[in-house]
Structure formats: structure tokens, C-alpha cells
Amino acid sequence: NMNYIYNNFNKPYFWAFLISTSALIFALYLEYIASLKPCHLCILQRYAYGITLILSLLAFIYKFKKIISFLICISMLVTLMIAFWHLGIEFQWWLPSSSCSNWDTNIGSLTEELNNNLLESRSSNCDILSPKFLGITLVQWSFIYIIATTFFITILTYKMLKKKNYG
């Protein structure tokens, strides 16, 4: 129903749903169609996008839209932090942990890539330059995407929180 879409067009949870769904579909496309193995941090970003997706779905169902939209912002900020950490590893601003590279010693943090033992099977290495598209690596594209969308969702949420009697 176009009226339903129109009524939700300015809602942060509507856009968060589209943003997280798009990111997850693209990640799955890269893995299963383009045969690019994700690294540990890429998988952590998928989990964070999954949380954003679940929160956005909850906002469509439940009444507490302001609170859920605020939680969506926090979830997207966590995704942004993971993307920034990944970008820093790619630019060699800091070293990855041993689960994220071929190194034998543990040398990184971000709380050890958010407790890297969550994932037993290692795929690609985080410290290897990701493929480029239009001269920009996929890690860089991921960071650009999440910083732009987090900014957008935060602005929509701020506008919603300022409104009184928002349903």
C-alpha cells in the first residue's frame, strides 16, 4: 500500500529497515554470488545490521517508536565503530588481533574484535586489502555507507524526539 509507505517515509525505523536490509543483502551477494569470503569484522558488522533490522521491525509492531528509534541509533553507532575499526586496520592505523590476521601474537583490541571467539571458523583476513570498486575498497565503501546512513537516521530520530505526540 503506497499510503502506508508514504506515512512511514519520514520515520527513522522505516529507513533503518531499508538500510540494514540492503546492507545484509549486499553482503550475502558478495559472499555467495561474487564468492568473496567475509573477514571477522565483516561478519560482526552483519550482526550489528541484523540487530538494527530487528529493532526496525519492532518499531513497526510496538508503540514505543521513540525508544526503539533511539536504540536503532545506538545499534548503528556500534556498526559505525566496527566499520571504523576495520577501516583503521585496512589503512594500517592500528594492528588487528590474531583472529583477524595471519599474525601469531595477539596485538589488537576493540575488545578483541568484540570477543572474536564468538566465531570459531576464520574466513578472510581483516588486514588484507579488500577488493576495489571505483577505486575505493569495499571496507571503505562500507564505512562511507554506515557513516552517511547513521547521520541520516540520527537526524530523523532527533526530529522525531523533538515532536510532541509522535505515534
What does the pLDDT average to over 114-127? 54
Q: What is the pLDDT of residue 119?
A: 47
Band of the pLDDT at 72, cuts 50, 70, 90?
Answer: very high
Average pLDDT across the chain, whole number: 80
Residue among 84, 104, 81, 106 at smallest CA distance from 93: 84
Residue 8 has pLDDT above 90, yes or no: no
Q: What is the pLDDT of residue 76?
A: 92
Q: What is the pLDDT of residue 86?
A: 84
Band of the pLDDT at 153, cuts 50, 70, 90?
Answer: very high
26-68 residue pLDDT tens: 999 988 998 888 888 888 899 999 999 999 999 888 888 888 9
Which residue has better confidence, 49 or 98?
49
Q: What is the pLDDT of residue 49?
A: 93
Q: What is the pLDDT of residue 110?
A: 58
Q: Please list the alpha-helical segments (H only) found in the chain.
A: 2-8, 12-32, 40-61, 65-90, 110-115, 138-162
Of all residues in the chain, the percent with pLDDT exceeding 70 is 72
pTM: 0.76
Residue 109 has pLDDT above 60, yes or no: no
